[in-house]
Structure 1
């Protein structure tokens, strides 16, 4: 059964004994050394439920819900089904109404990429937090590194000597599709991510539209999927850290929660497939072989549906905003041999508990 617990931002620190010494990234003359991964030994209690109101709902009442794009120099759809690239808009200068409009645009397009955002990046972690808090309560990741003093900022980091990411090297591919921390009772909605340092080539991020992957399936099969729920688990991720990897830190005990296999977006009303290879473990109520075969089919469908995917090639000053409710993504670790640094920051507001596409579907 799922543990129906969610998030709280307050925690009592406690001493945590680590299995292995924690390797720290180098602090040279790197411009963003103050944002390098820190692995505090604080412990956090279980997350608690909260009421979430999506800011995109407010934008629906605006005379022009896309007014934030009025001064853009370029607005281009990355693919027909997923993603928009924007030039000429400074995210750091957007007011509250414009941020609401961004939330609506991200909900409609799944992914919105803003180029030329050095101003935003250079404002630092306090600003990152205030920006993210507009979209929901910020999630504190249970195992990842964060800038010292800013646990709300999730970091990814790899350089020539170390990696502090949730990566495995025992597979033939580094592609692992996921929706961030989908094991939480109230997983993230709109997410902001950017690279502070990146390799000269490689290190791209793949995205897929879970709205489109669902639409590719036959109506009778979709009707069946709407009746199903699945367990999403954070246990494997926690065990990875407990083994001494990443930062050897588990600040909050892992949870499992039950979510609908097909969810409905609270703003657009669109239905989306909501399973992912990284965190979805089994379908509730089915025999093991039945669950495994259905999930394997869905995971393969997500993996192979190139016509539903977009590939983001990072450039300095790029910020990506995506909606975790209707997309999945995967980092591409193809740059390891170059020994170059890839250092990213993620601002992760939580959203509502996933809404079933089938009205009345029980989630307990």
Structure 2
């Protein structure tokens, strides 16, 4: 059995037991026994402070792929290309992500935009290429996001890590909930939330810990045209305050490196490359609809969250296997981990490469996104 990660420090452990706030030390390293193969990618919680993110011009690489005669040439050598569901997700075998050239990466971005989710098996070369390779990979698709509260490999704040074992967790988890399912679009509170996202597990339970995905394009299409027309006129506040407060309370490593922000996004957004329209709200970060009274906003958001939760015909489930790399378009999908392995002596350790995209484009042309 693989070794397990110990508690961060005895002091932090004691504080957690007492329910007190963790101190802000210079750094909070995660201790680990040396034989763990991916010890260099374990969560590290530097207290380095970062300034607010500045806007930048994002050009989606999928636009370049649209100009190619064969927009799916990177799949020509695949041994299998299988739809996971009709509306969301494709599984690919026989293609090495690590070997893709610039054209292949552009085509990949377009394919993920069209399918929402693409799962690549047998990608040990990619996973073992290391952080410097991950930097180059991610930057092809956009400016890399530095998460304000999560752990990252030491020296590489551009990579977001998820981590749980039998003794500790460094994830955003709501213990008092009856379910671990929290549908969300990553850091949607940013002015320019992520676009194409790459994620892989370095260690996973023998069973459990699957990731659920849902198509926000399909979710929108299920609604009546009259209601969709109304939703297009709406904009909502997305907030990172609760996530920051969670860390400030001493959980998830107890670090907040950048002050939390709130931004206003359209309730229905348009994909810049495909033109598809997608619902853009999520229970984790969306707080209220601008211009509506509280009861009106709450009623609409509860309805939309319930729709997202229950629409299994819009969803796909990724069962992890060693050397799997998953890519999704964060603009048109939502996802959730499933923490169904908590009672087992198992480790789930993953890394996310998160390029930022454009500021969400409203499906309703001319929608004013000011407060």
> What CA distance in whole angstroms lies between the structure 2 residues aligned with 1:150 and 1:24?
15
Cα offset for 1:293?
A: 0.3
Of residues 134, 141, 146 in structure 1, which corresponds to 2:152?
Answer: 146
> What CA distance in whole angstroms lies between the structure 1 residues aligned with 2:365 and 2:58?
19
The answer for the alignment partner of 2:119 in structure 1 is 113
The answer for the alignment partner of 1:355 in structure 2 is 361
Trace 1:10-89 onto structure 2 (pairs within 5 A). 18=24, 22=28, 24-89=30-95
> What CA distance in whole angstroms lies between the structure 2 residues aligned with 1:111 and 1:21?
35
- The answer to whether residue 296 in structure 2 is matched with residue 286 in structure 1 is no
Cα offset for 1:41?
A: 1.1
Provide closer, same or farther for how the CA distance between residues 23 and 93 of structure 1 changes in structure 2, counting only shifts above 3 A.
closer
**Number of residue equivalences:** 349
Cα offset for 1:168?
A: 1.4
Structure 1 length-normalised TM: 0.94
Cα offset for 1:23?
A: 7.1
1:163-183 CA-partner distances (Å, limit 9, x unpaired):
011111100000000000000
- The answer to whether residue 105 in structure 2 is matched with residue 99 in structure 1 is yes
Of residues 252, 262, 266 in structure 2, which corresponds to 1:246?
Answer: 252
1:292-340 CA-partner distances (Å, limit 9, x unpaired):
0000000000000000000000000100000000000000000111120
> What CA distance in whole angstroms lies between the structure 2 residues aligned with 1:148 and 1:280?
31
> What CA distance in whole angstroms lies between the structure 2 residues aligned with 1:21 and 1:51?
33
Off by >4 Å, runs of 4+ in structure 1? 19-23
The answer for the alignment partner of 2:128 in structure 1 is 122
Structure 2 length-normalised TM: 0.93
> What CA distance in whole angstroms lies between the structure 1 residues aligned with 2:199 and 2:27?
29
Provide closer, same or farther for how the CA distance between residues 17 and 336 of structure 1 changes in structure 2, counting only shifts above 3 A.
closer
The answer for the alignment partner of 1:171 in structure 2 is 177
Of residues 225, 229, 241 in structure 2, which corresponds to 1:219?
Answer: 225
Unaligned runs of 5+ in 2: 1-21
The answer for the alignment partner of 1:133 in structure 2 is 139
Provide closer, same or farther for how the CA distance between residues 215 and 35 of structure 1 changes in structure 2, counting only shifts above 3 A.
same
> What CA distance in whole angstroms lies between the structure 1 residues aligned with 2:134 and 2:104?
16
Q: What secondary structure, in the 3-state scheme, does the structure 2 residue paired with 1:336 have?
A: coil
Please report the RMSD computed on the Cα atoms of aligned residues, expressed in angstroms. Answer: 1.3
The answer for the alignment partner of 2:304 in structure 1 is 298
The answer for the alignment partner of 2:209 in structure 1 is 203
Unaligned runs of 5+ in 1: 1-15
Q: What secondary structure, in the 3-state scheme, does the structure 2 residue paired with 1:155 have?
A: strand
8 A contact 2:182–2:284 mirrored in 1: yes
Q: What secondary structure, in the 3-state scheme, does the structure 2 residue paired with 1:337 have?
A: coil
